[in-house]
A and B are shown apart, each in its own frame.
Chain A
Amino acid sequence: MKFAVLRFPGSNCDQDCLRTLQDTFGATAEPVWHKETSVDGYDVIILPGGFSFGDYLRCGAIARYSPVMAAVREAATRGTPVLGICNGFQILCESGLLPGALVRNRGLHFICRQVHLRLENTASPFTRAGQVGQVLRLPIAHGEGCYLADEETLDQLESEGRVAFRYCAPDGSLTPGANPNGSLRHIAGILNGPGNVLGLMPHPERACEERLGSTDGRFVFASLLESALAAVS
């Protein structure tokens, strides 16, 4: 199983993703430059966090035009799992691979802290190793993470079970104070229709080692590796 970690100019979590996959999971993971036109041969594609193209114009708005994104779209259509983390999530929204948009945090500040998340969907290749309702502790680090979509889209996401993660209190409840950025319906991560594209604002790659304060992010990568095994058997 081979992971591609896309590298846009301004990506800055690409190394963290590569090292986590290689060192913590012993997986094969390679950087893929944004000017590449093919992602053939990769089993999972990761769009890492950072400030692609400086977040100029709008977060992710320029990266969506990078040559590699046409290949990502094709791979997503074929069913290849595509994971967008933070800026990667923003790029997926700008690309139309996921609905909605991520706008400035309610409090206007960049926020970097550990937050609690409730896992809402375990049917995807990214979340199959978890349990519905499980509360996780993962870091966020973003200035534009407030998820917005129109009511119709939100209702559709809910009814199709495509909300993967919500910001919550430590006990799993959806209190207003537990929503760090003002995301509608506390949404922290969503899936596309077929369930093979996930975008989330929190950083699972920053929560895979005890020394960093949480290992709750491991299950995302463990799920992907498990999914691959299941696909083979």
Chain B
Amino acid sequence: MKDPTITPELIAKHGITPDEYARIQGILGRDPNFTELGIFSVMWSEHCSYKNSRPELKKFPTSGPRILVKAGEENAGVLDVGDGWAVAFKIESHNHPSAVEPFQGAATGVGGIIRDIFTMGARPIFLLDSLRFGPIEAGAPGAAANRHLLAGVVSGIAHYGNCIGLPTVGGETWFDETYAGNPLVNVFCLGVLRHDQIARGAARGSGNPVFYVGAETGRDGLAGAAFASRELTEESREDRPAVQVGDPFREKLLLEACLELLASGCVAGIQDMGAAGLTCSTCETASRGGSGIDVDLDLVPKRETGMTPYEILLSESQERMLVIVHRGQEDRVREIFEKWDLPHACIGQVTDDGLMRIRVGTRVVAEIPAADLTDQAPVYHREAAEWTPPQDLDISTVPMVDLTAALPRLLAHPTLTGKRWIWEQYDHMVRNGAVVGPGSDAAVFYARECGKFLAASVDGNGLISRLDPREGGRRCVAEAARNLACAGAVPLGATDNLNFGNPHKPEIFRQLRDSVEGMAEACRAFDTPVTGGNVSLYNESPAGPIDPTPVVAMVGVIEDEAHITRQGFRGPGDSVWLLGERAAGLDASQFLLILHGRKEGRPPQTDLGTEVSLHQAVRDAIRDGLVRSAHDCAEGGIAVALAECCLSGEGLVGVEIFLPDDERRDDESLFHEAPGRVLVTVDPADEEAFHDLATLCRLPVRKLGTTGGSELVIHLRTQTWRWPVEALFPAWDGALGKLMGTVAEPLAAH
């Protein structure tokens, strides 16, 4: 088959601008051929080059005494956790593929992030996920299609994670019309390794053989990275071939084989073939190694005949790795791959001429300076629109509603409700590490390899980010850190997933810039460097861009098993305390959104100094043995947080609460969403010690009531609200299952 002629139309179809084309001509000193054009197109897509976001990403703090591998250096960052052990972790999105084919889109998202972790030499041990969908309640527009996406994504994650044997131990799922047609699927993976096991994705040692191992290359996922860097349109479903098909069994074999191979000492460099497949892995390893690489496509294992060099290089077939092996170790390497029944081939070698040279037999089909391909990618400083701060909510425009009915309604809303329907589909117990599994503020995982208790939480709030991106950025980081503190953990580091619309629009770019600045500010305050992450732009459906949704996953460590703390009430007779300032207003609250359908107001601002003291106080109280349970007070305000404490423990526990008169309306007092608040239960015998500790930390602290009884009772001034916990439980625990009752919506309903 003859390659098409390079025309301006063909260049534009590859998403390459005239300026970028001129840059390519400059690098090559000639016109690129068709194959080379394809290579530049994927390597310079946003997904691979971060050309629109790189200047922003530089604002994140990325260094610290625990950092062993920095953000951007390798596939994932690596952090020291003590005693010679380290963790590698990262979050990554698979939004576009999941919008088009939810099951495979989500499944391959899981597969991709797992490969990023074991490529570092780490044994992956758990997953988290952060999901966003359009409304699924009966009668909501597009509900059937959104339920189809939710069912598909959850079963895709379950399919891949369960089969490979990695527990999904936590996460968060929100529902909002902004995500209709453009769901967000962000998956986090963490692995453990010893310091001396860190593997590098660099091609070093001229003459070292380059091995291909894993699934054969097919035409699936052609140029998926470029696909992910475009807006979703009505025609996106025709892009279904750009979505890959995952094989978790193959990946399990690849994982075990690679870890065995890395332990053998035969490996000089290793890189997974994810986005942009063979192209990205060859040029990145060469570029990192300051070397060249020479590959013969005739030797690549293929599952289809007649594939062109363009197709082979741009295929995103899953479950493949590129391994650079020390010369002389080839037989040992082949022996390991054969033990695991994996297709493999030596497809080329490392050179010292700095060129990525792709051959078909003796015919050279592409020849590009490897370092220029990765380092000379364009960088755009996009234009940001001016920001008009949101108006404060005029509370007089919010009609009063029956608050007794409001709480069960909020608890049954898909965003706030219990997510058991989701996490029961995940094997969250395999690897025997989920000490605190799904459904508490943070997951706590016992990493048996190193004897450490690791805590992790993933958080994002699109509503707040829409109204005030900078506060949204601060808020998600602060919430993740607070969740870790409530579990008894010291945060160590974070990974971010930036989900935004098209950055060419000044309004969107402003959201991106402000969100990053807010996140960076908060990460500095908590001393949690960002170890890497993912940028997903162009999250737009025909209805418009999504609300900006930065998501952060934070990892911490709990030094003593006795300090592991959960959110649920432990039993009757404990006193309930609120740490942190009570603020007011229903601005940017879920109450205002769910009950009044309004995305409005100026979100209460996070005071990072107070947050830091609050988290320290919670941890200190936990270490002093004063805390029975601790729960972050967030979406849905104090009433929802109290209900979650009643409902999510070992058994149902009632509570009687006396809210102080803050001269606000009842709905504000119960449901406002000020940051920086934690609900703590304390044994009455320890009350004095707890109060002293909080006062010493200069934190507002107030006793609210006592656990016990069969009701959640809230007194405020002369008012009393009562909710039998047995009646609240089914609303909270069963709502999602009820909505999803019959899951298999036909694709035609899409």
Closest approach, in angstroms, between the C-beta of B29 and any C-beta of chain A? 48
Chain B residue at minimum C-beta to C-beta distance from A17: B432
CB of A73 within 8 A of chain B? no
Please give the distance in Å from B121's CB to the nearest CB on chain A.
18
Q: Find chain A residues with CB under 8 A from B561 CB.
A: 211
How long is the Cα–Cα vector from A203 to B165 in the complex, in angstroms?
14
Q: Select which of B250, B252, B340, B743 is within 8 A of A12 by beta carbon.
A: B252
Partner pick for A16 among B425, B431, B435, CB 8 A cutoff: B431
Taking a contact as CB atoms under 8 Å apart, the answer to whether A206 and B425 are in contact is: no
Of all chain A residues, which has the CB nearest B437?
Answer: A213
B248/A211 in contact, CB under 8 A: no
Nearest opposing residue in chain B for A52, CB measure? B249
Cβ–Cβ contact A50 & B165, under 8 A? yes
Question: Are A139 and B163 closer than 8 Å at their CB atoms?
Answer: no
Of the 9-residue stretches A38-46, A107-115, A118-126, A155-163, which lies at the interface with chain B? A107-115
Tell me if B527 is interfacial: C-beta within 8 Å of chain A.
Answer: no
Given A9-B249, A54-B247, A141-B162, A111:B425 Cβ within 8 A: yes
Q: How far is the CA of A205 from the CA of B247 in the complex (A)?
A: 27
Q: Is the CB of B429 within 8 A of A203?
A: yes
Contact A211 B249 (CB under 8 A): no
* B341 and A19 contacting across the interface, CB-CB below 8 Å: no
Q: Which residues of A contact B162 (CB under 8 A)?
A: 51, 110, 141, 143
Report A172-216 CB contacts with B as 1/0, cut-off 8 Å. 000000000000000000000000000000010110010110000
Report the nearest A residue to B561, measured CB to CB: A211
Check A112 against B429 for contact (C-beta < 8 Å): yes
Asked if A146 CB lies within 8 Å of chain B CBs, one says no
Interface pair A12/B430, CB less than 8 Å apart: yes
Q: A19-B448, A110-B158, A141-B427 are in contact. Are A51 and B163 (CB under 8 A)?
A: yes
Query: In the complex, which residues 121-169 of chain A have their Cβ closer than 8 Å to any Cβ of chain B?
Result: 139, 141, 143
- Closest residue of chain A to B421 (Cβ to Cβ) is A109
Indicate with 1 or 0, residue by residue over B454-474, a CB within 8 angstroms of chain A CB atoms.
000000000000000000000
Are A212 and B434 touching (Cβ within 8 A)? yes
Q: Return the contact of B429 from the options A50, A206, A211 (Cβ within 8 A).
A: A206
Known: A55-B163, A203-B429. A9 touches B435 (CB 8 A): no
The chain B residue with its CB closest to the CB of A180 is B424
The chain A residue with its CB closest to the CB of B453 is A211
CB A143 to nearest CB in B, in angstroms, measures 8
- Alpha-carbon distance between A212 and B564 when the two chains are bound, in angstroms: 12
Residue of A nearest to B744 (CB): A108
Q: Check: B426 CB closer than 8 A to any chain A CB.
A: yes
The residue on A at minimum CB distance from B167 is: A112
Question: Residues 1-34 of chain A: 1 if any B CB is under 8 Å from the residue's CB, otherwise 0?
Answer: 0000000011011011001100000000000000
B523-549, CB < 8 A from A: none
Within 8 A of A (CB), among B136-160: 155, 158
The reply to whether A205 and B165 contact each other, CB–CB distance below 8 Å, is no
| A53-72 interface (Cβ within 8 A of B) | 53-56
User: Which of B158, B341, B423 has a CB less than 8 Å from the CB of A9?
Assistant: B341
Known: A12-B164, A211-B446. A54 touches B249 (CB 8 A): yes
B434: A residues at CB distance < 8 A: 212
CA distance A29 to B116 in the complex (A): 32
Q: Which of B687-710 contact A (CB under 8 A)?
A: none
CB within 8 Å for A205 and B432 given contacts A50-B165, A112-B427? yes
Chain A proximity of B345: nearest CB distance (Å): 20
Q: Which of B249, B428, B429 contacts A10 (CB 8 A)?
A: B249
CB distance from B743 to the nearest CB of A (A): 8
Q: CB-nearest residue of chain A relative to B123?
A: A15
The total of chain A residues at the interface (CB under 8 A) is 30
How far does the alpha carbon of A206 sit from the alpha carbon of B431 in the complex, in Å?
A: 8
A105, B250: Cα distance in complex, Å: 25
User: Is A211 touching B253 in the complex (CB atoms < 8 A)?
Assistant: no
- A109 nearest CB neighbor, chain B only: B425
Q: Cβ of B253: which chain A residues have Cβ within 8 Å of it?
A: 9-10
Which residues of the other chain, B, contact A113 by a CB distance below 8 angstroms?
424
CB-defined interface of B236-269 with A at 8 Å, one 1/0 digit per residue? 0000000000011110110000000000000000
Contact between chains at A53 and B432 (CB < 8 Å)? no
A57 vs chain B, min Cβ distance (A): 12
What distance in Å separates the Cβ of B387 from its nearest Cβ neighbour in chain A? 45
Question: What distance in Å separates the Cβ of A90 from its nearest Cβ neighbour in chain B?
Answer: 14
Report which residue of A9, A53, A111, A139 has the largest number of chain B beta carbons within 10 angstroms of its beta carbon. Answer: A9
Which residue of B has the minimal Cβ distance to A54?
B249
Residues of A within 8 A of B158 (CB): 110
CB atoms of B165 and A13 under 8 A apart: yes
Per-residue CB contact flags for chain B residues 406-439 toward chain A (1 = under 8 Å, else 0) read 0000000000000000011111111110110000
Give the residue name and chain of the B residue nearest to A12 (CB). B165
Q: Which single residue of chain A is at the shortest CB-CB distance from B434?
A: A212
Give the shortest distance, in Å, between A91 (CB) and chain B (any CB).
15
Q: Which residues of B contact A203 (CB under 8 A)?
A: 429
Question: Are B432 and A209 in touch, CB under 8 angstroms?
Answer: yes
Q: How far is the CA of A56 from the CA of B162 in the complex (A)?
A: 14
A14: nearest chain-B partner, CB-CB: B165
The answer to whether B446 touches A9, judged by C-beta atoms less than 8 angstroms apart, is no
Q: What residues on A are CB-neighbors of B164 within 8 Å?
A: 12
**How far is it, in angstroms, between the C-alpha of A228 and the C-alpha of B429 when the chains are bound?**
29
Given contacts A16-B431, A54-B249, A211-B446, contact A10 B425 (CB under 8 A): no
Asked whether B431 lies within 8 Å of A110 as measured between CB atoms, the reply is no
Known: A9-B252, A12-B165, A13-B165. A139 touches B429 (CB 8 A): yes
Give the residues in chain B near A110, CB-CB below 8 Å.
155, 158, 162, 425-427
CA distance A205 to B433 in the complex (A): 12
| B432 contacts across to A, CB distance below 8 A | 16, 19-20, 205-206, 209, 212
| CB of A183, distance to nearest CB on chain B (Å) | 17
Q: How far is the CA of A133 from the CA of B671 in the complex (A)?
A: 48
A56 to B250, CA, bound (A): 11
Report the Cα distance A50→B425, complex, angstroms. Answer: 15
| Closest A residue by C-beta to B427 | A141
A12 proximity list for chain B (CB < 8 A): 163-165, 252, 430
Knowing A10-B163, A19-B448, A110-B162, the reply to whether A51 touches B249 (Cβ < 8 A) is: yes
Closest to A209 in B: B432
A111 to B250, CA, bound (A): 23
* CB-CB under 8 A for A211 and B431, given A9-B249, A112-B424: no
Give the CA-CA distance A151 to B423 in the complex, in Å: 35
Q: Would you list 27 pairs from A and B whose C-beta atoms are within 8 A, ordered by A residue?
A: A9-B249, A9-B252, A9-B340, A9-B341, A10-B163, A10-B249, A10-B252, A10-B253, A13-B165, A16-B430, A19-B448, A50-B165, A54-B163, A54-B252, A108-B744, A109-B424, A111-B425, A112-B423, A112-B425, A112-B427, A141-B427, A203-B429, A205-B432, A206-B429, A211-B446, A212-B429, A212-B432
Residues of A that sit less than 8 Å from B by CB: 9-10, 12-13, 15-16, 19-20, 49-51, 53-56, 108-113, 139, 141, 143, 203, 205-206, 209, 211-212
List of 4 A-B pairs having minimum Cβ-Cβ separation, nearest first: A12-B165, A54-B249, A141-B427, A51-B163
**Besides A10-B163, A109-B155, 11 new A-B residue pairs in contact (Cβ under 8 A), listed by A number:** A9-B252, A10-B253, A15-B431, A16-B432, A50-B165, A51-B163, A51-B165, A54-B248, A110-B425, A112-B424, A112-B426
